[in-house]
Amino acid sequence: MPTIQESKLAFIGGGNMASAIIGGLLSNSVPKTNITVSEPWDVNRNKLAATGVNTTTDNVAAATAADLIIIAVKPQVAKTVCEELGKSWGDRKDLPVLVSIAAGITLGSFQEWLETPDGRAPHIVRVMPNTPALIAEGASGAIASADVTAAEKELVNELLSSVSRSIEWVDKEELLDVVTGLSGSGPAYFFAMVEHLVASATKLGLSKEQATRLAAQTCLGAGKMMTTSDEEPGQLRKNVTSPNGTTFAALQTFEQQGFEGIVDKAVKAATERAAELGATLAK
């Protein structure tokens, strides 16, 4: 199996997540000429072309010589795209490994949609990255179909480590929907929290600019402490909370207003939406 630097990579869809992953690959010494992106929208395609990677609007042509294909279209488009690719592989002896980042779409759906005219299907890995991939601070979950080899898994690991600090392989497919509800959608939860913090502090008199700088740096600082400290998040929280002090007053308010229940319901809603997308689009 070639390394990620030696592999021919094709991205089907060149939007936000594909661009983030491609940025990480280019910083990780993957040659531009080994990457091809198929993207219909000229604005996105031209942005990617400016990085030096190959671009096209023809999904089949992009995938022709690829060792690894990354399906980076919206879940609603995945079926059409995959059926087109599978049908084109009748004469192809060695099928590429396929990586999907589409929320919810199951390994089983991909196996069905990608079947070649002579009844074969590629080895498939489902991945859930997140947008901090853009700055190589991503968190990704992954699950492989049973036929994926250790070398193929390693190749996908190399792909993900170009953009992710944390890569978690799960062994039950439904857990990838939980990863989606946790870290796939998760950056938005922290952005929303900072938006609310800024709004509160602004109401209390701080300027929006000062409040945004303080809140965003607090988010980053707390995140860095959680990824570098030996202490659990709960202990780090206790370390900030003086008895009957200011943090205690705030956390008590969170608790009284049902913070834990709100978070629980939100993560569950995202997880269930991923599963629902997968089930609806399988039809």
Ligand X SMILES: NC(=O)C1=CN([C@@H]2O[C@H](COP(=O)(O)OP(=O)(O)OC[C@H]3O[C@@H](n4cnc5c(N)ncnc54)[C@H](OP(=O)(O)O)[C@@H]3O)[C@@H](O)[C@H]2O)C=CC1
Ligand Y SMILES: O=C(O)[C@@H]1CCC=N1
**Of residues 46 and 247, the one with the C-beta less far from ligand X:** 46
- Residue with smallest beta-carbon separation from ligand Y: 184
Interface residues with ligand X (CB under 6 A) are 12-18, 38-41, 44, 59, 72-75, 77, 81, 101-103, 128-131, 184
**Of residues 86 and 184, the one with the C-beta less far from ligand Y:** 184
Candidate ranges 55-63, 144-152, 180-188, 250-258; the one touching ligand Y (CB under 6 A): 180-188
Contacts of 23 (CB under 8 A, 6+ apart): 51, 134, 163
Among 68, 180, 182, 281, binds ligand Y (CB under 6 A): 180
Residue 168 CA: distances (Å) to CA of 70, 117, 176: 18, 34, 10
Among 73, 103, 139, 144, binds ligand Y (CB under 6 A): 103
- Residue with smallest beta-carbon separation from ligand X: 15
Cβ 166 vs Cβ 184: under 8 Å: no
**Of residues 152 and 177, the one with the C-beta less far from ligand Y:** 177
Is 14 annotated in a binding site? The answer is: yes
Rounded distance between C-alpha atoms, residue 261 and residue 184, angstroms: 20
Tokens of 52: 């030096």
Is 105 annotated in a binding site? The answer is: no
**Of residues 18 and 148, the one with the C-beta less far from ligand X:** 18
Is 74 annotated in a binding site? The answer is: yes
* Residue 120 burial (C-beta neighbours within 10 Å; 0-12, 13-18, 19+): middle
Is 243 annotated in a binding site? The answer is: no
Cβ 9 vs Cβ 155: under 8 Å: no
> Nearest to residue 84, comparing CAs of 114, 120, 125, 41?
114
User: In the complex, which residues of this chain contact ligand Y (CB under 6 A)?
Assistant: 103, 180, 184-185
